[in-house]
Amino acid sequence: MTIDISFVGRGRDKLGEGALWDPLEQAFYWVDITAPCIQRYDPAIHRFRRFAMPDLVGSVGLAAPGTLLVALRHGFHIFDMATSALRPLALPEAGNLGVRFNDGKMDRQGRYLCGTMDAAPGTQPALGKLYRLDANYACHVLETGISVSNALCFSPAGSTLYFADSSQGVLWAYDYDTKTGTPSSRRVLADTRAMTGSSPDGATVDSAGNIWVALVHGSAIGCFSPAGELLQKIDLPIPFPTCPAFGGPGLETLYCTAISSSGRLNTDHRDAGRLMRITGVGARGLPETRFRLGVPA
């Protein structure tokens, strides 16, 4: 198949991230972390919506129809798109100015994993953590000592967790207990910096179990096998891609967000920060799980 790359809409994000396809609504969501806002695109009618947020927004997850799980700077909220109401669920980093929430993804059982990152990357020791939010809104710390959390995604069966600290330039794999939501046996799956010249940013998994990673410093997306082999590298027409996600009716279209001006990464490229649509990649994505909203303990 021939790969084709096009831009979606005319908007340019400062720090686009959090790519997410809703198979129920057939809509694509992403965030502009520093704007800060959540954005929605309906391909069938080519309609864009923008929801302003009161603070930095790291990522979103699917919840009940019409609502999103939102990771703002200090914790987790439910966002009602009809009313624009935000309801806090858990604020584990309330008052901590040293970190903010960043990349997140639902596990296959409907728990939300989301990492924090240092507000000033390079802080020693690194202050970021990897959290898991359960249906009863309980937060559990799964990792510590993280500088820039990224690349969260899961194997098709959910038994392998992929995660990265972008500052280290490698993609990790963990065994993941699907019953308890506990990761173990961390190992380096791929040294993306050595293999491609770029640290890993956002990532997603296809139906064959391959991991598609935004190579933020390489203007590309890399496809890695579950064994860590680089299977494919797609060069992109703009700098600083950040987060890929499969979407469309058959989950065969790869969308990818990007940066124009994040503070640390800045460019005057005329198309920087635009949302990209990539077809012909020869892969199919997996539907994202929805958060299983429970009753607070």
Please state the pTM of the whole predicted model. Answer: 0.97
For residue 121, what pLDDT is reported? Answer: 77
| Cα distance from N-terminal residue to C-terminal residue, the chain | 51
Q: Are 251 and 23 in contact (CB under 8 A)?
A: yes
Query: pLDDT tens digits, residue range 242-288?
Result: 999 999 999 999 999 999 999 889 999 999 999 999 999 999 999 99
* Residue 116: HSE in the Cβ half-sphere, 13 Å Cα cutoff: 31
For residue 175, indicate whether it is catalytic. Answer: no
3-state helix, strand, coil in the chain (%, to 5): 5, 55, 45
The CATH classification number of 4-279 equals 2.120.10.30
Q: Are 154 and 108 in contact (CB under 8 A)?
A: yes
Q: How far is CA 117 from the centre of its chain?
A: 13
Catalytic residue among 13, 32, 134, 201: 201
Averaged pLDDT of the chain: 96
Burial code (b: 16+ CB inside 10 Å, e: under 16) for 100-124 equals bbbbbbbbbbbbbbbbbbbeeeeee
Q: Say what the alpha-carbon torsion angle 125, 130, 136, 138 is, to the nearest 10 degrees.
A: -20
On the question of a cis peptide bond just before residue 296, with omega within 30 degrees of 0, the verdict is no
Q: What is the largest CA-CA distance in the chain?
A: 52
Query: pLDDT tens digits, residue range 198-212?
Result: 999 999 999 999 999
